[in-house]
Amino acid sequence: MAEDWSPEEVSATVADYLAMLGHELRGERYNKSEHNRRLQAQLRGRSAGAIEFKHANISAVLIELGFPYIDGYKPRGNYQELLKDEVSARLEGDARLVRAADAFVQAAVDAAPAVLALSDILVPAPVRDIVRNRARERPVQDPILGRGINYLEREAHNASLGAAGELFALNVEHRRLWEAGKRGLAERIEHVSQTRGDGLGYDILSFDLDGREKLIEVKTTGLGAMTPFFASKREVSVSEERAQHFNLYRVFKFRESPKVFVLQGALRENCVLDPVQYRASLL
Per-residue pLDDT tens digits for 24-80: 999 999 999 999 999 999 998 899 999 999 999 999 999 999 999 999 999 998 888
pLDDT computed for residue 2 by the predictor: 61
d(CA 15, CA 36): 12
Q: Do residues 227 and 200 touch, judged by C-beta distance below 8 A?
A: no
Residues 102 and 22: their CA atoms lie apart, in Å, by 11
pLDDT attached to residue 80: 84
Q: What value does the mean pLDDT take over residues 4-12?
A: 93
Q: What is the pLDDT of residue 201?
A: 97
Q: Is the confidence at residue 138, as pLDDT, over 80?
A: no
Distances (CA, A) of 72 to 29, 148, 220: 14, 27, 18
Using one digit for the tens of pLDDT, what is the confidence trace for 188-197?
A: 999 999 999 9
Average pLDDT score over the chain: 91
Q: Could you tell me the pLDDT band of residue 4, with boundaries at 50, 70 and 90?
A: confident
**Nearest CA-CA partner of 228 in 193, 167, 274:** 274
Which strands make up the sheet holding 259-264, listed edge to edge? Answer: 204-207, 213-220, 246-252, 259-264
Residue 33's nearest CA partner among 22, 46, 20 is 20
Q: Is the pLDDT of residue 17 over 90?
A: yes
Q: Which helix (H) or strand (E) holds 143?
A: none
Residue 231 has pLDDT above 70, yes or no: yes
Q: Return the pLDDT at 78.
A: 84
DSSP class of residue 122 equals B
More confident of the two residues 182 and 129: 182
| Residue 175 scores a pLDDT above 80 | yes
Least confident of 10-14, 74-78, 154-158, 166-170: 74-78
Mean pLDDT of 225-233: 95
Is the pLDDT assigned to residue 217 strictly greater than 80? yes
CB atoms < 10 A from the CB of 88, how many?
19
Nearest Cα neighbor of 79 from 98, 64, 97, 93 is: 64
Q: Can you tell me the distance from the alpha carbon of 132 to that of 279, in angstroms, rounded to the nearest whole number?
A: 31
Strands 204-207 and 259-264: unpaired
DSSP 24-85: HHTT----HHHHHHHHHHHHSS--HHHHHHHHHHHHHHHHHTT----TTS-------HHHHH
Please report the pLDDT score of residue 134 as a whole number.
44
79-133 residue pLDDT tens? 889 999 999 999 999 999 999 999 999 999 998 999 989 999 999 999 876 544 4
Task: Categorize the per-residue pLDDT at 248 as very low, low, confident or very high, splitting at 50, 70 and 90.
Answer: very high
pLDDT band at 147 (very low <50, low <70, confident <90, very high): low
**Residue 248's beta-bridge partner residues?**
217, 263
Question: What does the DSSP assignment read for 169-226?
Answer: HHHHHHHHHHHTT-HHHHTT-B-HHHHT-TTSS-SEEEE-TTS-EEEEEEEE-SS-TT
- Residue of 253, 272, 250 whose CA lies nearest to 263: 250
* Cβ–Cβ < 8 Å for 63, 152: yes
